[in-house]
Amino acid sequence: MPIDYTKRPSAPEPPAAGGKVVLTKSAPTVSLTKQSSGTLRVNLNWNARKSSSFFGKAARLDLDLGCLYEFTDGSKGVVQALGNAFTASPRGVSDRAIWLDADDRSGASADGENLYVDLRFTDRIKRVLVFAFIYEGAANWSEAQGVVTMFPASGPQVEVRLDDPRDGAKTCAVAMLTGGVELAVRREVNYVNGAQRLLDETYGWGMNWTAGRK
């Protein structure tokens, strides 16, 4: 049975240290209080080094950042580079509420990949599941050393380290964001042996999927 992620978790929040909150298994949640304006930036960075194969060729590792979203009006979907689904908005809203800035194909960009959430629409957000997906290269999360950092409009950064690797799994559910009066963030770091369709099934999103390319 899918877990009801619309309910606020009751686990203790981690203290901020050095201007950063690191979400862990023992302290997986934080609330972004008084964030009703500005933008939340969600950044994915990973190890840009490329391992060599037996034949001496460099093996490129391409990670993608994206999210499944569901608004309070019932509309839902995915924001990702695959299929050029770069933006999302609630029904009747012309401004984008969630968007992806670019597709870093190598991990060599200092800025990595960035997903943005317009905090004006916090009360229109039911849930947003941030995920990382190995689009190209061996499913080796240990080598990728991925880190997702969230930059609120104010307050400390929130970091989620993909430090519980499950090699062979292509997709990692990184964090669940739930809206309402304020935005709450819960660490997931849940690896699934499949693509976005399986992620949907795992979290009970209930969408229809077709194959896509970028």
Tell me the pLDDT tens digit for each residue of 2-12.
444 444 444 44
Look up the pTM and report it: 0.85
All residues at 6 or more sequence positions from 64 whose CB lies less than 8 Å from its CB, including other chains: 80, 81, 82, 103, 113, 132, 133, 134, 135
Contact between residue 124 and residue 73 where contact means Cβ atoms under 8 Å apart: yes
Which token pair is 149? 């950092």
Please give the span between the terminal C-alpha atoms of the chain, in angstroms, as a whole number.
33
Range 20-203 has CATH code 3.40.640.10: no
Longest CA–CA separation in the chain, Å = 55
pLDDT at position 4 is 46
Check pLDDT > 50 for residue 54.
no
| DSSP per position, 42-53 | EEEE-----EE-
Structure tokens at 164: 């519980």
Q: For 114-146, what is each residue's pLDDT tens digit?
A: 999 999 999 999 999 999 988 776 678 888 889
- Choose the most confident range, by mean pLDDT, from 55-64, 69-78, 132-141, 158-167: 69-78
Least trusted range by pLDDT, from 4-8, 114-118, 151-155, 173-177: 4-8
73-98 per-position pLDDT tens digit: 999 999 998 888 899 999 999 999 99
Q: In which element (H, E) is residue 202 found?
A: helix 196-203
Provide, rounded to the nearest whole percent, the portion of the chain with pLDDT above 70.
Answer: 77
Phi, psi dihedral angles at 82 (to 5 degrees): -60, 120
Pairing state between β 20-22 and 157-161: parallel
The domain limits of the chain are: 20-203
Q: Residue 5: what pLDDT?
A: 41
Record the tokens describing residue 11, joined without a space.
């686990």
Residue 133 CA to its chain's centroid (Å) = 9
How would DSSP label each residue in 120-172? GGGGGEEEEEEEEEEEES---HHHH--EEEEE-SSS-EEEEE--S--TT--EE
3-state secondary structure at position 59:
strand
